[in-house]
Amino acid sequence: ETGVTQTPRHLVMGMTNKKSLKCEQHLGHNAMYWYKQSAKKPLELMFVYSLEERVENNSVPSRFSPECPNSSHLFLHLHTLQPEDSALYLCASSQEGYGGADQPQHFGDGTRLSIL
């Protein structure tokens, strides 16, 4: 148990569907992250939220829309995705800022997304 829970674990959707991925952390951390993991490629950072404000958006297409209503919850809203968006989407949390710079990111087990 990592303290970071992602739902659903698996999701199959058509290109015209709208769905959302959910992440919840029980660690009291102040930063949360969305990553995309494709086969044989490094994890790609998508979004960073620190103290519920988005601090980084790595040129992610607008068909991915994040939402962070509070420090414990993070959503990734999906609409009109493409087949190349099929991947494992990982959520992570950490304690950032002075005194927390050497703290690890704690990852959830991911949502395996398949676009038909």
Tokens describing residue 27: 């660690």
The footprint of another protein on residues 29-58 (CB under 8 A) is 40-43, 45, 50, 55
Tokens describing residue 34: 């969305």
Least distance between another protein and beta carbon 16 (Å)? 28
Contact with another protein (CB under 8 A) among 26, 82, 100, 116: 100
Q: How far apart are CA 97 and CA 14, in angstroms?
A: 40
Stretch that binds another protein, among 11-19, 65-73, 78-86, 94-102 (CB under 8 A): 94-102
Q: How far apart are CA 103 and CA 30, in angstroms?
A: 12
Q: How far apart are CA 89 and CA 112, in angstroms?
A: 6
Residue 102 is a binding residue for another protein (CB under 8 A): yes
Tokens describing residue 95: 């304690």
Nearer to another protein, 16 or 40 (CB): 40
Nearer to another protein, 55 or 116 (CB): 55
Burial group, residue 80, by CB count within 10 angstroms (0-12, 13-18, 19+): middle
Chain contacts with another protein (rule: CB under 8 A) = 2, 4, 40-43, 45, 50, 55, 90, 92, 96-102, 104-105, 107-110
